[in-house]
Structure 1
Amino acid sequence: MYDVIAIGCGPFNLGLAALADGVDDVRLAVLDSRPEFTWHRGLMFDDAMLQVSFLADLVSLVEPAHHLSFLSYLKDNDRLYQFYVREKFHPTRREYEAYLRWCAAQLESLHFGHHVRSAEWNGSAFELTVERGDAVEHFEARHLVVGVGTEPFVPAALAGLPVDRFLHSADYLFRRDDLLRAGRVTVVGSGQSGAECALDLLRAAGPAVSWLTRTPSFAPLDYSKLVLEMTTPSYVDYFHALGEPVRDRLVKEQWRHYKGISSETLDDIHDVLYTRDLTAELLCGVAVVSAVARADGLELTMLHADSEKTFQHTTDAVVAATGYRNRPLPFMESLQDKLDHDAAGRWVINRDHSVRGELDGRVFVANADLHSHGVAAPDLGIGAVRNAGILNSVTGREVFRLPKSTAYTTFAIPG
């Protein structure tokens, strides 16, 4: 019998295991179907930077002296002075993954190669049926944390393209050599992933590059200081208390806080175009209506938003930087009628990240609460606080002291 079983081992549930390490009265296991911990390998460009500070590690914003902090990783790998002299708060994405793998190697609570097939409530605990190779094992837990992450999303307009000439940006580096041999490559989508793929193709100076997006511009992330306060617990408190229609409207309006492009990447793209005098096609305000494979390439029918006219775009390969969506949860099927859902069919999630329902045991979520907790939900900087709150709720005591004041901005009506 475990106190908590976390399903899925991305950075958030890895952080839960890190914080729980050393909490004697919490027996925790993390189950993941993959053979080992990896993180965004298909987009691990050598110079790609993390978009948040090193303080957004697994533990520091709750326990900065924790033995699994990023600074502890640097010290253990004799890189502390090099990081200090570098004078940059943002690690590379590659180094951040190395830090996560360093943490994973020290945690005995992680169990890879464990695929959760089903979860049921027996009246006093959750019973999990788990496949481990050819064997089937059974686990019990008083509480669950669902953190299976997201999966690549491909819109219907692109879904029918042949796989040898089409890929999602999540697989970009695995298919890069094929793309460089193509005559024309089109990147669809203008988040950070789309920008990094377009930049890499431009730097390679191989195929002709087109970069298309339905957003009105190639918009930068809004990372100004006071806007960043919307990723703090103070804003989460405010957002969670709002009505469902208001929350849904705000999430749509605030896309630039988590779906935009870093200003540095945009500058790099312009510099490459200018210094190498490259001819590339950059189109914004256009959406893919349909796509078919022809003998001479892929033909995309595009809709221009401002003129409301369509036009044809021909290319040899398409990279869909079209984002991610929450993974389906077939193992939770038997529990769904015991959990509350909102008008859109999403789980109703309490402030402590537990799903409202009729079960005595609680189901918590990690990074599946954008609709209830706002733009901070996918931000690495909220992970430690969310996990500390989950552990406080599970134990019924203040294992970790949570920050009380996290923003200068007042979001609610004063008083």
Structure 2
Amino acid sequence: MEGLANEQILDVIGVGIGPFNLGLAALLHKTECRSLFFDKNIRFDWHPGMLLEGTTLQVPFMADVVTMVDPTSPLSFLNYLHEQGRLYHFYFFEKFQIPRTEYNHYCQWVAEQLPQLQFGCKVENIEQTEAGHYRVTVFDYKEEERKTYDAKHVVVGVGTKPYVPEKFHSALGDRVFHSSQYKNKREDALKANSITVIGSGQSAGEIFYDLLSKQPDHDYKLRWFTRSKGFYPMEYSKLGLEHFSPDYTRYFYHLPKERKKKVLNNQALLYKGISASTIADIYDLLYERTVGNQVSNIHLQALTELVSIEDWNNTYHLSLYQHEQEQNKQLESDVIILATGYQPFIPDCVKGMKHRIQWDEDGQFVIQEDYKVKLNTDGQNHLFVQNGELHTHGVGAPDLGLGAFRNAAIVNQLVGKEVYQIYERNVFQQFGM
């Protein structure tokens, strides 16, 4: 069954309800904008496969969905603590980086207070009507019904998706899987005789430490390989962190397109390394395990790329290549965990807009500085994007600390006035001439 769900034209529809569109809904809450947000999942859940005990956000708690532009909002993390009766617990906790599980619970608490959020609803198509509005087709799983909604603007905030190199796709299954599935598959993985972790980022480090902690109770061989030059820490100096600011975003946006690619390639450790504290925890545990020259059943190796995975009689054969020595190595492993990161993607629901959207030579959205997707026709109705502008706006695109700023910029455009103040100067250093 299909029909127009509401004859009234909404001001905005949000596609996807991750932290960024959740923040947009939270900031719109005190405006008169008529909005609906849709997500195919049945509730908010932020990277559930990596909600491991002892893991924290890599940004301060102020990177909640509202504080950086609206610190007095009742939907702030501090007010969440107040409502939960945990302010004194947090006061004595004395840490800026909060547990990842608590951030997830905070976001669920925010979601419960926003009636315009519709979970269990998949956006199937977005197209423009003759009047220039957006017609959004949504399938409601609970009601088993297809509905359409009209809106003046659409904000696509579907985020990124797990990335696995295509050459490993045929091996994926219960014992070869992406790090995003780790928590769900951990109990079965612990029964293996050998486990291999592939990757160099924070997820790889956290999974390796979790497996290292549990190794004495399960007695498996544990290996960790990365093609990176080493197990290096993420850049976390205070001046380095200023790259995750509106000031740097503005500077990066105005660089020539060819220069942007080179700059991003040289900034990997700003957002792809391992936290120094995770590296320290791993080293300290390795040190303790080898007291009295005990031999640990552990292998760590950098500069080594996984070339292939082959299934031989229910055991996986891995082919590896060490770049500096230019040598190959083969080994066996029962379980392989691919911490190979995430990548932006163009959701299928924009297929109805494909001919109206401007694309760059790499098949990505052409995105304007104010987060609008550039269309082939001018108009008053816009398609915005969240966390899909790394190629145009730089390393801050996926950063939680810049989410509220981006949403404030979008809200001000939706409402047509400055609802939230955006400051021109936010850091001490100057990035350009």
TM-score, normalised to structure 1, is: 0.97
Within the candidate set 319, 338, 363, 2:337 is matched to 319
Within the candidate set 367, 373, 377, 1:355 is matched to 373
Within the candidate set 45, 48, 66, 2:73 is matched to 66
Partners of 1:328 and 1:179 in 2: CA distance: 32
Indicate if the aligned counterparts of 1:289 and 1:300 stay in contact, CA closer than 8 A. yes
Return the letter of the residue paired with 1:282. L
Within the candidate set 80, 91, 106, 1:84 is matched to 91
Question: Is 1:227–2:240 an aligned residue pair?
Answer: yes
Q: Deviations over 1:300-358 (max 9, x none)?
A: 11111112222112211100101112244111012122111122121111111111112
What residue is the counterpart of 2:112 in the other structure? Answer: 105
Deviates more, 1:368-377 or 1:402-411: 402-411
Indicate if the aligned counterparts of 1:273 and 1:279 stay in contact, CA closer than 8 A. no
Within the candidate set 365, 369, 382, 2:385 is matched to 365
What residue is the counterpart of 1:150 in the other structure? Answer: 160
Return the letter of the residue paired with 1:144. V
Q: Deviations over 1:77-112 (max 9, x none)?
A: 111111111111111001111110110000011001
RMSD across aligned positions (CA): 1.1
Question: Is 1:246–2:246 an aligned residue pair?
Answer: no
Partners of 2:111 and 2:264 in 1: CA distance: 32
Q: Deviations over 1:125-174 (max 9, x none)?
A: 00011111221111111111001112211112322215132111111111
Deviates more, 1:53-62 or 1:126-135: 126-135
CA shift at 1:115, angstroms? 0.8
CA shift at 1:22, angstroms? 1.2
Indicate if the aligned counterparts of 2:164 and 2:338 stay in contact, CA closer than 8 A. yes
Question: Is 1:174–2:184 an aligned residue pair?
Answer: yes
SS in 2 for 1:57: coil
Distance 1:62 1:208, change over 3 A: same
Partners of 1:44 and 1:162 in 2: CA distance: 22
Indicate if the aligned counterparts of 1:160 and 1:292 stay in contact, CA closer than 8 A. no
Indicate if the aligned counterparts of 1:216 and 1:284 stay in contact, CA closer than 8 A. yes
Return the letter of the residue paired with 1:42. G
Partners of 1:319 and 1:302 in 2: CA distance: 15
What residue is the counterpart of 1:127 in the other structure? Answer: 135
Question: Is 1:397–2:417 an aligned residue pair?
Answer: yes
What residue is the counterpart of 1:14 in the other structure? Answer: 22
What residue is the counterpart of 2:231 in the other structure? Answer: 218
Within the candidate set 348, 360, 364, 1:346 is matched to 364
Partners of 2:362 and 2:346 in 1: CA distance: 15
CA shift at 1:18, angstroms? 0.4
Partners of 2:108 and 2:256 in 1: CA distance: 39
What residue is the counterpart of 2:322 in the other structure? Answer: 304
Indicate if the aligned counterparts of 2:154 and 2:383 stay in contact, CA closer than 8 A. yes
Distance 1:272 1:48, change over 3 A: same
Partners of 2:431 and 2:326 in 1: CA distance: 38
SS in 2 for 1:246: helix
Partners of 1:356 and 1:322 in 2: CA distance: 31
Return the letter of the residue paired with 1:159. H
Return the letter of the residue paired with 2:309. A
TM-score, normalised to structure 2, is: 0.93
What residue is the counterpart of 1:2 in the other structure? Answer: 10
What residue is the counterpart of 2:45 in the other structure? Answer: 38
Indicate if the aligned counterparts of 2:174 and 2:185 stay in contact, CA closer than 8 A. no
Indicate if the aligned counterparts of 1:44 and 1:93 stay in contact, CA closer than 8 A. yes
Listed as ranges, the gaps of 5+ residues in structure 2 are 1-8, 291-295
Within the candidate set 194, 197, 214, 2:207 is matched to 197
Q: Deviations over 1:247-286 (max 9, x none)?
A: 1111111111111111110011111111012331101111
Partners of 2:331 and 2:243 in 1: CA distance: 39
Return the letter of the residue paired with 1:260. G
Distance 1:139 1:296, change over 3 A: closer
Listed as ranges, the gaps of 5+ residues in structure 1 are none
Identity %: 39
Partners of 1:331 and 1:159 in 2: CA distance: 24
Within the candidate set 279, 296, 300, 1:282 is matched to 300
